[in-house]
Amino acid sequence: MSLPNSGRNHNHKPVLGNDNEDFLAAGLEQAAEYEKNNGVKPTVYVPEKNVDFASPVNRDSVVNPETGTNSQASAYDDLDDYVYRQNKKRHRSHRHSSSVPSLFRKKKSKHKHRHHHHKHHRKKKRLRKWQKVTISVICVLLALIIVGVGTVVYLNMKGSKDLLKGNDSVNLDLPKYADSISNGQYITYKGVQYKLNENITSILCMGVDKESLKDDNGNIVQIGDNIGAGGHADALFLLTLDMKSGRTTLINISRETMTDIYIYSTTGNFVETQKAQICLAYAYGDGRESSCNNVLLSVQQLFYNIPINSYLALDLQGIGGINDTMDGITVVSPETIGPFTAGETYTLRGSLAQSFVRDRSHEVINGNALRMERQKIYLQSFANKLIDKTKADITFPMTLFNSATPYMCTNLDAAKTTNLALSAINGTYNGEPEIKTIPGKVKQGEQYAEFYVNEKKFFELFLDVYYTPVNMLEQ
């Protein structure tokens, strides 16, 4: 009979005990099992005295006194072969079971195998259908948020760049009484040196009146041989925004300002330059982009060739609808005209808003100046309410933009609009805009009123808006 570490017992090393009675009892159990399965009763010799079976020497030295043979060793060999066969079968059915015969193990000893935990047999918990749907929806929303945020960031950065386009390469045509350095980057005027503020963007806002070109019968009134049917730029404002300091200025330009305008034929060919009311520049175009660009050129020339980065033209007939999108605009009338009384407060809606910004008296020479005052009041109230609504709802500028689109022509794209809206929400442009009016005098011309600019006062206004006083050493 081989020992437990003989190699055919799967190299397990059981702990052998010295309790012979327990040991023999276990052997008798194995013998009974052997007889039951094989039909042969093994010969077992039970010694009269205790024998240490843990030692192979003691086992083999036991001799049967009746036969003179080592029957005990033979019995153990038979049991050993039987136990080996049984353990071999068990090993096939479960490779983790111990092959050490129970005859050579304590019953109380525990042979531990970590593999018996069988963690790999555990059944995975499956997600329910609603859980899968919820996770999918959350993933899609997160993806949309990431894409949306990325798009807004991109548009904001691009808009900031586009709004300042051209500010780094100016070539100003300044008055002779102002000393200019580097094409107007620096100006010396009355002993003070000024530096051009390159953080300012300029947006030309135009209110277009197409009805003014028609007579009572609806026919277009021809002002010249080459006049088009685009309409007049009856309301003109230059909005300047300092994108660093947040200063906002609205410069009111009289429609009757006498300046050089570019005359084009009805086929779009350039004819000549004439000094005329600046509002007529819009008429020499298609009533859309070319008309806007023609007015922009005249205003830019009036402002010493300063870059004007953007424009927005709005047909005054659309004021009512845009006004109602804002839930009405509250104003105090500065004069008595039409349905309005000086000093009275009105919440303008529909056609009443159009009348407030469009009507003017033709009986007095300063009728346009009085109308410009009403327009300033309206725009100031409109801007304040727009900022409040944008802070409450970031999508409101797009809602307003959509309501104005049928009546509007502009080069303010999504990038520029996004930057302006975010700047308003973030409080970049704080407080009400400063409203300035180009200084000058209105005179009666041969046919129409004519406004002439006070050159030196206007130049000082120009310096105040676009330049910053600096020390000579900073040059």
Residues 113 and 199 in one domain: no
For residue 89, give Cα distances in angstroms to 3, 85, 94, 95: 19, 6, 9, 10
Q: Name which of 225, 386, 416 is nearest 312 in CA terms.
A: 416
Average pLDDT on 124-145 reads: 64
**pLDDT, greater one: 3 or 185:** 185
- Number of structural domains (the chain) is 2
Residues 454 and 313 in one domain: yes
Q: Residue 2: inside a domain, yes or no?
A: no
Q: Residue 234: inside a domain, yes or no?
A: yes
Residues 217 and 331 in one domain: yes
Helices (H) and strands (E) in the chain, counts: 11, 16
Six-digit token pair at 130?
A: 């609603």
Backbone angles phi, psi at 435, to 5 degrees: -105, 120
Average pLDDT on 323-352 reads: 92
Range of the domain at 272: 164-474
Q: Residue 381: inside a domain, yes or no?
A: yes
pLDDT at 9: 45
Q: Residue 148: inside a domain, yes or no?
A: no
pLDDT at 32: 75
Burial environment of residue 254 by CB neighbours within 10 A (0 to 12, 13 to 18, 19 or more) = buried
* Tens-digit pLDDT profile for residues 360-398: 887 778 888 888 889 889 988 888 888 888 878 877 877
Average pLDDT on 186-206 reads: 93
Q: Residue 432: inside a domain, yes or no?
A: yes
Residues 341 and 443 in one domain: yes
pLDDT at 2: 40
Average pLDDT on 387-415 reads: 84
> How far is Cα 445 from Cα 366, in angstroms, rounded to an integer?
13
**Confidence band for 157, pLDDT divided at 50, 70 and 90:** confident
Average pLDDT on 310-323 reads: 90
**Residue 250 pLDDT > 50:** yes
**Residue 438 pLDDT > 50:** yes
> How far is Cα 407 from Cα 209, in angstroms, rounded to an integer?
11
pTM, to two decimals: 0.64
Residues 261 and 348 in one domain: yes
Q: Residue 157: inside a domain, yes or no?
A: no
- Where does a domain end: 65, 92, 121? 121
Look up the CATH number of the domain holding residue 263. 3.40.630.190
Please state the separation of Cα 365 from the chain's center in Å: 52
Residues 109 and 173 in one domain: no
For residue 187, give Cα distances in angstroms to 166, 176, 219, 295, 303: 19, 11, 50, 27, 15
Cβ contact 251:436 at 8 Å:
yes
395-423 b/e (C-beta count within 10 Å ≥ 16 → b)? ebbeebbebbeebbbbebeebbbbbbbbb
Residues 114 and 214 in one domain: no
Q: Residue 139: inside a domain, yes or no?
A: no
Residues 377 and 277 in one domain: yes
Cβ contact 140:132 at 8 Å:
no
Q: Residue 257: inside a domain, yes or no?
A: yes
Residues 204 and 282 in one domain: yes
> How far is Cα 153 from Cα 147, in angstroms, rounded to an integer?
10
Residues 86 and 215 in one domain: no
Cβ contact 109:4 at 8 Å:
no
Q: Report the mean per-residue pLDDT for the chain.
A: 76
> How far is Cα 116 from Cα 118, in angstroms, rounded to an integer?
5
What's 433's DSSP letter? P
Range scoring the smallest mean pLDDT among 45-59, 121-135, 423-437: 45-59
pLDDT at 128: 67
Residues 97 and 237 in one domain: no
- Where does a domain end: 88, 121, 154? 121
Residues 348 and 287 in one domain: yes
- Where does a domain end: 121, 147, 174? 121
* Tens-digit pLDDT profile for residues 213-244: 555 555 555 544 445 567 889 899 999 999 88
pLDDT at 197: 94
Radius of gyration of the chain (CA): 50
